[in-house]
Amino acid sequence: MSFYFTKTPNIVKPLASDLIWSFNSDNDKPVLYLTFDDGPVEGVTDRVLEELNKFNAKATFFCVGENVEKNPGLFNQISEQGHSVANHTFNHLNGWKTGNYSYYKNVLKADGLIGSNLFRPPYGKITRQQVKSLKKRFKIIMWDVLSGDFDVNITPERCLNNVIKASKPGSVIVFHDSQKAKGNIIEALPEVLKHFTEKGYIFKNISQYEKIR
């Protein structure tokens, strides 16, 4: 069974202050930033887009380059519906297990397809040297809430509760539009959107946060 924090510990953020973990929420309404990693994937990403549209919610999709190549129409649909696209490497690489040059080259290969100044390292695993190189070109977006939707050992209800309990105004929340996460996300996402909408929250994509532009 894998171990992970659903809420990023406060002690972690100061240790990597050059990475973006969450945002200030000083708007009239509280804002949440939904993010989706690993797509676009047919049968998952399109379902996610449908649910977001029902609530007029905007989100950020951290796309894997090889999946963009496989599903170009679905990738274009993300932007056409007002969401942000962002870089998640070309082959979903683990930075801790990849040489710096190979990692950087892989990110740039994805950038040729995605064309975004936003980047998230797969698994959240990236070395300090990789950060140093990439932050010259990208805003590196981490998260402060992890839904756990990728964990096949938890239920959609648990996934929902992870998000509800850990989120606060300005939170960056991670879901996955992948086949592995499909069972959880398809059930949990509509409930997340409903819960926070009823509490007066709005959902923005990260490019809508003025300091990122």
**Domain presence at residue 113:** yes
CATH of the domain at 132: 3.20.20.370
Whole-number pLDDT of residue 110: 98
**Domain presence at residue 6:** no
Percentage of the chain exceeding pLDDT 70 = 92
**Domain presence at residue 4:** no
**Domain presence at residue 205:** yes
pLDDT tens column, 148-164: 999 999 999 999 999 99
Angle between helical axes of 182-198 and 156-166 (0-180°, round to 10) = 40
**Domain presence at residue 99:** yes
Q: Which domain holds residue 157?
A: 12-212
Number of domains present in the structure of the chain: 1
**Domain presence at residue 110:** yes
213: confidence class by pLDDT, cuts 50, 70, 90: very low
**Domain presence at residue 7:** no
pLDDT tens column, 29-88: 899 999 999 999 999 999 999 999 999 999 999 999 999 999 999 999 999 999 999 999
**Domain presence at residue 165:** yes
- Per the DSSP assignment, residues forming a β-bridge with 3 are none
pTM of the prediction?
A: 0.94
